[in-house]
């Protein structure tokens, strides 16, 4: 972690002058983008007395608008700002009974309009200096690292208050150092808008070494203060027309008496006669305390290749889990159609033994990006419920 800490200390020592950051308002306004999303999901919980699919009591929904701009002050300095607003649109009056967000920080209810600053960052590159090939990104931002990342599957993505340094001085090697102080990710709901205090008490450090000498190899180390030390490694390479992927990770909890968690996955993918095919296998060691998943959202999602939509970090990344996944996708006259099947077993936690089948249609309707997802889960435990979900996501960027 010396690299990360030294890089961050260097950032803190920098002086930011007003002349270096004079913003061209006209240019910033010309770069404004607007993203809109409407998210609806309904579930048949398959339990006695539970409401049926499409009943108001079985459904959740909400809308999101994000307005942002990004650009450069000059060749060395840049910026990015994004503001998000989530609202029910009154859907709770007749269509849904729940939202996709956590409770509003204003009064603790889920029906309030929520608005928050989802991104606000400055970028700096040391033009003409020893830092010419080092870029710093300072402020609120989205992250994509194996064990601490922004999840974009739900209504609103979670973001972080962080400092990230990326260096490319060495040919074919990218060094990444980061300090992550806060985040608004929460389990299941993904984000609670303004509540940027839900990561870990003292933050986390991360160091990544990303290499590509013919075959890409990515190595990551994390020091999540008061939670765990962790590492992740992955690579991918081609064998003929097929692409092979390998992943391995380890979580070393800091709590007294907690056991290490480790596991990995292998995947093979390729295109045959217009069909994108993928098969993957993952195995977690039978002993362990923490899942090999996203530390920023209570381990909801995982980068393991076997993850499904609901059979995700909560299943395939749990210690003693063994999972298989097959996936096929192709373009059809009505859009891209994807069918995937995930099977997860776990001797230590038999309640996690499940088979999930997902059918996903991605298309455009009247210029609106439309994704329709049908999810069916069958649990092995005697008497367990087998929930069925229908998810509809409409989005449009301007």
**Domain locations along the chain:** 1-226, 239-398
C-alpha distances (whole Å) from 93 to each of 156, 247, 375 are: 22, 46, 26
Rounded to whole angstroms, the Cα distance separating 366 from 368 reads: 6
Q: Is residue 7 over pLDDT 60?
A: no
Separation in Å, CA 225 to CA 78, 254, 296, 298: 30, 8, 13, 15
SS3 per residue for 251-298: EEECCCCCCCEEEEEEEEEEEECCEEEEEEEEEECCCCCCCCCCHHHC
pLDDT digits (tens, 9 = 90+) for 241-299: 999 999 999 999 988 888 999 999 999 999 999 999 999 999 999 989 999 999 999 99
50 DSSP 8-state letter: P
Cα–Cα dist 330/359, whole Å: 12
Q: 239-398: same fold as 1-226?
A: yes
What are the backbone dihedrals phi and psi of residue 168, each rounded to the nearest 5 degrees, phi first?
-125, 30
The pTM assigned to this predicted structure is: 0.90
CB 300 within 8 A of CB 151: yes
Q: What is the CATH number of domain 1-226?
A: 2.40.160.10
Tokens of 6: 């030294």
Q: Does pLDDT of 126 surpass 90? A: no
Instruction: Name the more confident of 5 and 159.
Output: 159
Residue 101 has pLDDT above 90, yes or no: no
Short-list 43, 55, 36, 301, CA closest to 155? 36
Mean pLDDT of all residues belonging to the chain: 90
Chosen CATH of 239-398 out of 3.30.43.10, 2.40.160.10, 1.10.10.10, 3.40.50.10160: 2.40.160.10
What confidence score (pLDDT) does residue 225 get? 79
Closest CA to 395 of 363, 353, 373: 363
For range 186-204, the mean pLDDT: 78
Cross-strand pairs, 173: 211
Nearest-angstrom CA–CA distance, 356 and 315: 11
How crowded is residue 350: how many other Cβ atoms within 10 Å of its Cβ?
13
């Amino acid at each position: 972690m010396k690299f990360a800490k030294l890089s961050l200390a260097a950032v803190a020592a920098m002086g930011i002058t007003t002349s270096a950051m004079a913003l061209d308002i006209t240019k910033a306004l010309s770069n404004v983008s607007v993203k809109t999303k409407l998210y609806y999901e309904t579930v048949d919980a398959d339990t006695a007395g539970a409401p049926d699919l499409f009943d108001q009591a079985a459904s959740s929904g909400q809308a999101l608008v994000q307005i942002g701009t990004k650009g450069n002050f000059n060749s060395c300095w840049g910026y990015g700002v994004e503001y998000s607003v989530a609202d029910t649109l009154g859907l709770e009056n007749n269509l849904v009974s729940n939202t996709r967000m956590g409770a509003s920080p204003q009064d603790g209810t889920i029906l309030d309009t929520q608005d928050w600053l989802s991104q606000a960052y400055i970028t700096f590159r040391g033009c003409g200096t020893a830092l010419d090939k080092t870029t710093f990104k300072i402020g609120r931002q989205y992250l994509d690292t194996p064990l601490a990342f922004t999840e974009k599957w739900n209504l609103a993505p979670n973001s972080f208050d962080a400092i990230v340094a990326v260096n490319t001085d060495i040919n074919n090697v990218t060094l990444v150092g980061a300090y992550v102080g806060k985040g608004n990710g929460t389990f299941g709901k993904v984000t609670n808008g303004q509540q940027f205090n839900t990561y870990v008490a003292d933050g986390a450090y991360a160091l990544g070494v990303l290499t590509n000498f013919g075959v890409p190899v990515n190595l990551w180390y994390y020091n999540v203060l008061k939670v765990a030390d962790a590492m992740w490694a992955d690579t991918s390479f081609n064998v003929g027309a097929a692409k092979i992927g390998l992943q391995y990770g380890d979580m070393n909890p800091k709590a007294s008496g907690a056991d290490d968690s480790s596991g990995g996955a292998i995947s093979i993918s390729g295109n045959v006669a217009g069909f994108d095919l993928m098969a993957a296998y993952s195995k977690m060691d039978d002993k362990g305390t923490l899942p090999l998943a996203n530390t920023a959202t209570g381990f909801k999602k995982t980068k393991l290749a076997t993850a499904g939509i609901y059979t995700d970090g909560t299943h395939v990344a749990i210690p003693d889990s063994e999972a298989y996944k097959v996936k096929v996708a192709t373009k059809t006259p009505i859009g891209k159609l994807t069918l995937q099947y995930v099977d997860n077993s776990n001797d230590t936690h038999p309640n996690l033994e499940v088979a999930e089948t997902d059918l996903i249609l991605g298309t455009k309707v009247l210029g609106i990006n439309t994704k329709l997802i049908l999810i069916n889960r069958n649990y092995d435990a005697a008497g367990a419920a087998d929930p069925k979900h229908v998810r509809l996501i409409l989005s449009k960027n301007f």
